[in-house]
Chains A and B, each alone.
Chain A
Amino acid sequence: MERIPILRMGNLLLVTIQVDMHDRLAMTLQDDLTQRIVSDNAKGVLIDISALDLVDSFIGRMISNTAAMARVLDAQTVVVGMQPAVAITLVELGLTLHGVKTALNVEKGMALLGKTVF
């Protein structure tokens, strides 16, 4: 089955989404990340969406749900690299990714996680 790879760096999980995800793939990623937080004892999750040229309500909800699930499993999530056109569209669509931490790029995202995790 098609899957998006999840890398581990210390107690962080790192995901770079580089394909246009169909809905099942997005759900698989949400499930995989939640499993890996527990199995890898991760304290932080960094999701890089800089290669995504679209975040619709389904992908947006997957991101929000993943962050919420991570939170109840004692891990922080940061979404990094959102393109400006995607941000404009997302807000106009009516999604605000409530409760999701964001940073402009991977470096700033790591710094943000570093403050809360380490």
Chain B
Amino acid sequence: MSTALGNTVAFQTHLLDKRGHQLASRTTMPLRSDEDVVALRRHVRERAVAIALSLVDQTKLVTAASELARNTIKYGGGGEVHLDALQDDLRRGVGLVFVDDGPGIADLELALRDGYTTGGGLGLGLSGSKRLSDEFEIDTRPGEGMAVEIVKWKR
């Protein structure tokens, strides 16, 4: 985990600086089992309700979280997720950063294509969660794990 985590810390700092988001608080949860995914869905729902996201946006965020959490476990060999309360000048948001130290992704463009999968799934996890999020960013290198950040803002 150490290399990926080191990369991820730098990556997140870079993301936050670049966008002028303020990180109001951060909680970290493990992603190892099916039950962890269910627990994450519940926590994300609570965060979404807390900033009064619409029901549709809540559902989109929780669904994207479920897809990415499954990817972290299935392809990344497990990892963790940071739940961030975000704030900029005008609005509040929920940020989620999924981190693993698995094999990473060599061809991001291909991995983001609808229907592309190496795991026998539908190939909608990455591309679908990108569509469901307001912001979506991936940092990965082959062999060095990956970090995926999504953000949903209160409209």
State the A residues within 8 Å of B (CB): 20-25, 53-58, 60-61, 83-86, 88-89, 92-95
Contacts and interface: CB of A to CB of B under 8 A. Distances in A.
Given A57-B122, A57-B124, A88-B56, A93 B63 contact: yes
Interface stretch (B20-28, B30-38, B81-89): B30-38
Interface in B57-72: 58-60, 62-63, 66-67, 70
A23 B70 contact: yes
Contacts, number: 73
Nearest to B54: A85
Contact of B128 (A20, A57, A83): A57
A33 B129 CA distance: 29
A85 B55 contact: yes
B42 A20 contact: yes
Where chain A touches its partner, the secondary structure class is helix
A56 B67 contact: yes
Given A22-B35, A23-B34, A61-B122, A94 B60 contact: no
A85 B59 contact: yes
Counting chain B CB atoms within 10 Å of each CB, the highest count among A53, A61, A89 belongs to: A89
Interface string B44-58: 010000000001101
Contacts of A89: 56, 59-60, 63, 132
Contacts of A94: 114, 122, 124, 127-128, 131
Nearest to A64: B122
B40 to A, nearest CB: 11
A53 B127 contact: no
Contacts of B6: none
Given A25-B34, A54-B59, 7 more contacts: A53-B59, A54-B62, A56-B67, A58-B66, A93-B67, A94-B124, A94-B131
